[in-house]
Amino acid sequence: MSLWARVNQLPQPVLEQIRYIYGNSFPIEVRHYLAEWIEERLLNVPVYQHEQDSAYEQEAATFLNQLINELERTAINLPEDNVTGRIRLNESARNFRQLFSHNPVQLYSHLINCLQRERQCIAYPEECVNVQDPEIAEVINGLQQLQMLVRANENDNRNLVKDYEHLLLEIHEITKNKAQMEAIDNAQLREHARAALVQQERNVNETVTLITGKRLNLVDNFRKTIQLTSQVQEKVLHKYLTQWKINQGFAGNGASGMSASNLDTIQAWCENLAEIIWNTKDQIRLAMKNKSKLNIEEPNLPDFLPQSLVEVTNLLKALITTTFIIEKQPPQVMKTNTRFAATVRLLIGNTLNIRMSNPLVRVSIISAQAQATQQSNKASEQSCGEIMNNTGNLEYNETTKQLSVSFRNMQLKKIKRAEKKGTESVMDEKFALLFQSSFAVGHGDLVFSVWTISLPVVVIVHGNQEPQSWATITWDNAFADINRVPFHVPDKVSWNLLAEALNTKFRASTGRSMTPENMHFLCEKAFRANLQYPVSNDLTITWSQFCKEPLPDRTFTFWEWFYAAMKVTREHLRGPWNDGSIVGFIHKSKAEDYLLKCSRGTFLLRFSDSELGGITIAWVNESNDGQPQILHIQPFTAKDFATRSLSDRIRDFEDLFYLYPNKPKNEAFDRYTTPPGQPRNRNYIPSEVRAVLMPSNNNPISYPNTPNSYGHLQSPDASRDTPTSGITDVTFRSDSVRPTYFPEARYGMGHNYAASYSGSNMSSPARSQTSPMGPPPGQELPSPTSVGSPPPAQQLPACVEQFNSAAAAGNSTSVATDSTLPSELLQPGATGSLTLRTSATEHMPEGFLENILSDYQGQELDDVSMAQLNTNSFYTVTTMPQSSGGSNAAASSPAMANGI
């Protein structure tokens, strides 16, 4: 069942929440008609650290083009009677092309986030419903009540204006009647006029009293409107918009939790508030103007209109300055001379005629100035760096109804740092981007200067500064208070809060959360001690423990180790990690305890304790006495995975059978293995990279029918300090057809039907004391007297001994094909020859020896090849080191024919 089908089975309040999530920019009809198509492309897209990543932008652009084409195709295929659906889909295609052609990432990110929200609604429908808390209803009801109050105030003010005009006419009439009365000579008529005038004056006074009452009632309604507006605005700005800003910090750590404060909804609220405040302000000014026309003194009544005008102006100022926000934050780890982006938005841009002026926004970078800016509420004119392309105009989009500006090509060219104190480093210093603008509202009678500060950023100049910089940012995003003094954060926090932040970051980066056992392992690693599970909420960790103090016996910190594990998982292990095939965070001893209860060939994967970004395979093998032993393969790093993936390596290792506890390895990893590719040029024999296990010094790998005579072989990389019992080596194997006369070989490089061999990798005592590549520079080979006589037969591999015995008994025929090896093929001061043998029933082609010598490139036979000498050998190499006295001592060893 598709995700959308499951969403439509949710309760109605949750469905309303889903519609609310998608907003006005993405019609819900598009989600309905293209449900499966959208889910197929977006449910499992890779996560990028920054949206300005070029690969992310390319994927977004491709998706937008495909979406528009799919909309048009779906509209054509709709039934003819579904006219509304056709119109809606075609209209959406046009809008998407117009709105997002220059910024496809905006739509792409929005849809990915919406699908994530849908998943959360399905998983936690109760939480999704609870998002619509009573305070949202209070905001909506408050706005509706305010709109009714404003309409009533406007109507009362309009009627009051008419009353004022009627009163002025009556007063004018009284004045005229007074003049006429004075001109009457007849006393009786004059008295009658005076009485009429007195009645008129009485009526005017009653009208004035009535108007005064109406005016006082209007003033009281103004005060009620301002009070209710203040309450609603407080909730919108200081709860929902503030929470949205806090969520931006959490999002910097990868959080994507449900939030009621959807920005489009908040903008609608803010625009309603702006209209309510501006209308109330106009009504107050009109009331003050009408009162001044009457020139009526009210000594016993205070005039609240001027104070109300001040209060409503302050509300407007707070609304405008607070709704100038950073919709898309700049990258919080910022590298100099690297392009980055940010988007600023004014939430009341659709009101007060602000959009008509296209205000200019300027960007600067500040550090210590951030504190002064916040305290003085005035944008700083100083900057501690130089940013290119740092100006842009707020532009209004008719379709989305948004007033915003996107800075797409900013670059930080220079940065001025503060002096460091104590152990501070450049990765600990925080900066912020300051966005500022000014514009007039209404009819230009009020001018506002607005500014906003980004989340903290750390400026680096080299990629190796990135891990520690992310430690600074992760800590700040998780624990900074919204109203803090920039850039203060606590030095000590609860471990459980930090663990949740790390889990959030790991989930966002890799696609799956850590288990409680994983997080307990991290706790013990961070505190360098064994702790009870679960840990107490009172357990705290300091900033120094988190990312400053090295782990015991290591040169790196807890954070560096965690960051490296997260990075290698994100880049190379995402699929197996999401499937649960990687345990990852587990103690070595605990992994061994688990595996000792399992059958031979069972393995699990854990992050290396000693190598940053390394992952090792622990597996069950059998020792010589038949008892189970746990071996650990040398850790793989990102450099290794660049050559061959983890899944391909596991497929190559024939001694690994089951993923812990009992899942066949092919079921767990085959879906991630690399399929065989077509040869680039059919004129060549194709080859591929394979991984092999090699015996180590301490724990030789036991192979069937192979004597353990290779304990002297050394690891090719002794610099790694993880004790390992198996070492990997990458060799090549050809996939061409194998001639029938060549023995099977599982490893090595094949050249047509000629074999690669070495005349220097001997098992004699002389060679056992030196590197397979010969003695170190300046070190002589042992003299013949120290070398001794050739090794006895029992020291030779069993297959060679058996072959020679059979030949001596006449069971096979030795072909007299001896050849002296050229000196350039041997170590300095040594000579050698090659003796080729074959059974009487096998056919030896012409030119076989010439092919061997011509194709030889000086390769060393690896340890695994030596261990695999359980097949018929075709030839034996004999070498003799040259002594200082000129005498030779022979040492012979078989060399394996690395066949195709």
**Banded model confidence at residue 375, pLDDT cuts 50, 70, 90:** low
Which of 730, 763, 733, 741 lies closest to 836, judged by CA? 741
The residues, any chain, with a CB within 8 Å of residue 754's CB and separated by 6 or more, are 848, 851, 852, 854, 855, 856
Checking if the pLDDT of 27 tops 70, the result is yes
Selection from 41-50, 76-85, 254-263 with the highest mean pLDDT: 76-85
Cβ contact 157:305 at 8 Å = no
- Between the alpha carbon of residue 334 and those of residues 51, 325, 412, the distances in Å are 13, 20, 8
Q: Determine what percent of the chain is predicted with pLDDT higher than 70.
A: 72
Q: Which of 254-268, 373-387, 447-461 has the lowest mean pLDDT?
A: 254-268
Which of 284, 452, 300, 441 lies closest to 380, judged by CA? 452
Checking if the pLDDT of 374 tops 90, the result is no
Cβ contact 433:383 at 8 Å = no
| Rounded mean pLDDT, 205-222 | 85
Cβ contact 456:431 at 8 Å = yes
- Tokens for 301, please give them: 């009544």
Sign of torsion over alpha carbons 112, 113, 114, 119: positive
Which H, E and C letters describe 320-346, residue by residue?
HHHCEEEEECCCCEEECCCEEEEEEEE
DSSP one-letter code for 774: B
Which H, E and C letters describe 191-257, residue by residue?
HHHHHHHHHHHHHHHHHHHHHHHHHHHHHHHHHHHHHHHHHHHHHHHHHHHHHHHHHHHHHHCCCCC
Does the residue 802 lie in any domain? Answer: no
* Residue bearing the bigger pLDDT, 840 or 85: 85
Does one domain contain both 10 and 109? yes
Does the residue 140 lie in any domain? Answer: yes
Q: Which of 159-173, 353-367, 517-531 has the lowest mean pLDDT?
A: 159-173
Distance (Å, rounded) from C-alpha 615 to C-alpha 53? 27
- Between the alpha carbon of residue 712 and those of residues 241, 694, 740, 772, the distances in Å are 69, 12, 35, 11
**Banded model confidence at residue 35, pLDDT cuts 50, 70, 90:** confident
| Cis geometry, peptide bond prior to residue 661 (ω within 30 degrees of 0) | yes
Distance (Å, rounded) from C-alpha 872 to C-alpha 743? 7
Selection from 98-107, 372-381, 696-705 with the highest mean pLDDT: 98-107
pLDDT of residue 301: 67
What is the residue type of 750?
G
Q: Last residue of some domain: 241, 272, 295?
A: 295
CATH number of residue 386's parent domain? 2.60.40.630
pLDDT of residue 740: 27
pLDDT in tens, 152-188: 888 888 888 888 888 888 888 888 888 887 777 777 8
- Tokens for 771, please give them: 């590197």
Does the residue 159 lie in any domain? Answer: yes
Does one domain contain both 164 and 220? yes
Does one domain contain both 14 and 158? no
Does one domain contain both 86 and 106? yes
**Banded model confidence at residue 603, pLDDT cuts 50, 70, 90:** very high
pLDDT in tens, 729-743: 333 333 333 322 223
Selection from 20-24, 45-49, 91-95, 329-333 with the highest mean pLDDT: 329-333
Element (H, E) at 132: none
In the chain, the number of structural domains is 4
Q: Last residue of some domain: 449, 465, 481?
A: 465
Selection from 424-433, 691-700, 732-741 with the highest mean pLDDT: 424-433
pLDDT of residue 545: 93
- Between the alpha carbon of residue 727 and those of residues 301, 325, 582, 714, 768, the distances in Å are 95, 55, 20, 10, 19
Does one domain contain both 139 and 114? no
Secondary structure of the chain: what % helix, strand, coil (to 5)? 45, 15, 40
Q: Which of 101-115, 123-137, 663-677, 757-771 has the lowest mean pLDDT?
A: 757-771
User: Token pair 């940012």 is at which residue?
Assistant: 473
Selection from 480-489, 707-716, 802-811 with the highest mean pLDDT: 480-489
pLDDT of residue 774: 37
Checking if the pLDDT of 841 tops 60, the result is no
* Residue bearing the bigger pLDDT, 787 or 592: 592
Checking if the pLDDT of 25 tops 60, the result is yes
User: Token pair 């480093």 is at which residue?
Assistant: 425
CATH number of residue 224's parent domain? 1.20.1050.20
Does one domain contain both 252 and 178? yes
The pLDDT mean for the chain works out to: 74
In terms of residue numbers, what domain contains 280? 135-295
Checking if the pLDDT of 712 tops 50, the result is no
pLDDT in tens, 817-840: 344 444 444 445 444 444 444 443
pLDDT of residue 614: 94
Does the residue 315 lie in any domain? Answer: no
Checking if the pLDDT of 813 tops 90, the result is no
pLDDT of residue 885: 38
CATH number of residue 536's parent domain? 3.30.505.10
User: Token pair 């619509």 is at which residue?
Assistant: 132
- Between the alpha carbon of residue 217 and those of residues 132, 555, 858, the distances in Å are 36, 76, 104
Cβ contact 727:681 at 8 Å = no
User: Token pair 């109804």 is at which residue?
Assistant: 401
Does one domain contain both 146 and 280? yes
Does the residue 689 lie in any domain? Answer: no
Does one domain contain both 668 and 527? yes
pLDDT in tens, 447-503: 899 999 999 999 999 888 999 999 999 999 999 888 888 888 999 999 999 999 999
Does one domain contain both 84 and 163? no
pLDDT of residue 295: 66
Cβ contact 303:268 at 8 Å = no
Does the residue 213 lie in any domain? Answer: yes
Does the residue 878 lie in any domain? Answer: no
Q: Last residue of some domain: 104, 131, 158?
A: 131
Dihedral angle computed from the Cα positions of residues 261, 265, 267 and 272, in that order, rounded to the nearest 10 degrees: -120
Does one domain contain both 336 and 388? yes
CATH number of residue 118's parent domain? 1.10.532.10
Does one domain contain both 127 and 139? no
* Residue bearing the bigger pLDDT, 900 or 632: 632
Does one domain contain both 514 and 650? yes
What phi, psi does 407 have (nearest 5°)?
-90, 110
**Banded model confidence at residue 226, pLDDT cuts 50, 70, 90:** very high
What is the number of other CB atoms lying within 10 angstroms of the CB of residue 679? 13
Q: Which of 133-147, 568-582, 588-602, 615-629 has the lowest mean pLDDT?
A: 133-147
**Banded model confidence at residue 425, pLDDT cuts 50, 70, 90:** confident
Cβ contact 70:34 at 8 Å = yes
Does the residue 846 lie in any domain? Answer: no
- Between the alpha carbon of residue 204 and those of residues 156, 210, 519, 814, the distances in Å are 20, 10, 83, 140
